[in-house]
Chain A
Amino acid sequence: MAGTEDTANNFLDALLLALDLITGLNAGLIEIVGLSLSVSLSAVLIAGSIGLPLGAALAVYNFRGRQISIVLLNALMGLPPVFIGLTVYLLLSRSGPLGALDLLFTPTAMVIAQAILITPIVAALSRQTCQGLYEIYQEQLRSLGATPLNIVLTILWDARISLLTAIMAGFGRAIAEVGAVFIVGGNIENFTRVMTTTIALETSKGNLALAMALGIILVLLSIVVNGVASITADSVSRSKANR
Chain B
Amino acid sequence: MNILPLTLKNVTYYSGGKQLLKCNVTISEGPNTMVLGPNGAGKSIFLRVCHGLLKPTEGQVEWTGKEQDANNPNQAMVFEKPIMLQRTAEENLAYGLKLRKAKKDVIKQRVSQVLQRVGLTEAAKQLATSLSAGEQQRLALGRAWVLEPDVLFLDEPTANLDPGSTAEVEIIIQEIKKSGTKIVMTTHDLGQARRLGGDIIFLYGGALKEHSPAEKFFDSPKTKEARAFLNGEILWGQD
A146 within 8 A of B: yes
Q: Point out the residues of chain A lying under 8 angstroms from B87, CB to CB.
A: 158, 240
Chain B, range 72-122, C-beta contacts under 8 Å to A = 73, 76-77, 79, 83, 85-88, 95-96, 99-100
Q: Point out the residues of chain B lying under 8 angstroms from A242, CB to CB.
A: 125
Place the interface of chain A in its size category: 10 to 19
Taken together as a complex, chains A and B put the C-alpha atoms of A32 and B48 apart, in Å, by: 60
Q: Point out the residues of chain A lying under 8 angstroms from B76, CB to CB.
A: 143-144
User: When A145-B71, A146-B99 are in contact, do A243 and B83 touch as well, CB less than 8 Å?
Assistant: no
- Whether B100 lies near A145 (C-beta < 8 A) is yes
A4 within 8 A of B: no
Interface segment, A17-25, A95-103, A132-140, A188-196? A132-140
B126 within 8 A of A: yes
Taken together as a complex, chains A and B put the C-alpha atoms of A145 and B96 apart, in Å, by: 7
A27 within 8 A of B: no
B45 within 8 A of A: no
A1 within 8 A of B: no
Known: A154-B85, A243-B88; 6 extra A-B contacts, CB below 8 A, are A137-B83, A143-B51, A144-B99, A240-B86, A240-B127, A241-B127
User: When A144-B96, A145-B100 are in contact, do A241 and B85 touch as well, CB less than 8 Å?
Assistant: no
The binding surface of chain B is classed by DSSP as loop
Q: Point out the residues of chain A lying under 8 angstroms from B51, CB to CB.
A: 143
0 or 1 for each of A120-145: is its CB under 8 Å from B? (1 = yes) = 00000000000001001101101111
Q: Point out the residues of chain B lying under 8 angstroms from A136, CB to CB.
A: 83
User: When A158-B85, A158-B86, A242-B125 are in contact, do A139 and B53 touch as well, CB less than 8 Å?
Assistant: yes
- Whether B77 lies near A145 (C-beta < 8 A) is no
B143 within 8 A of A: yes
Question: Taking each of B51, B85, B96, B143, which has the highest tally of chain A beta carbons within 10 Å of its own beta carbon?
Answer: B85
Q: Of all chain B residues, which has the CB nearest A154?
A: B85
B130 within 8 A of A: yes
Taken together as a complex, chains A and B put the C-alpha atoms of A144 and B79 apart, in Å, by: 12
User: When A139-B53, A240-B88 are in contact, do A150 and B83 touch as well, CB less than 8 Å?
Assistant: no
9 contacts between A and B (CB under 8 A): A143-B71, A144-B95, A145-B73, A154-B95, A158-B85, A240-B88, A241-B127, A242-B125, A243-B88
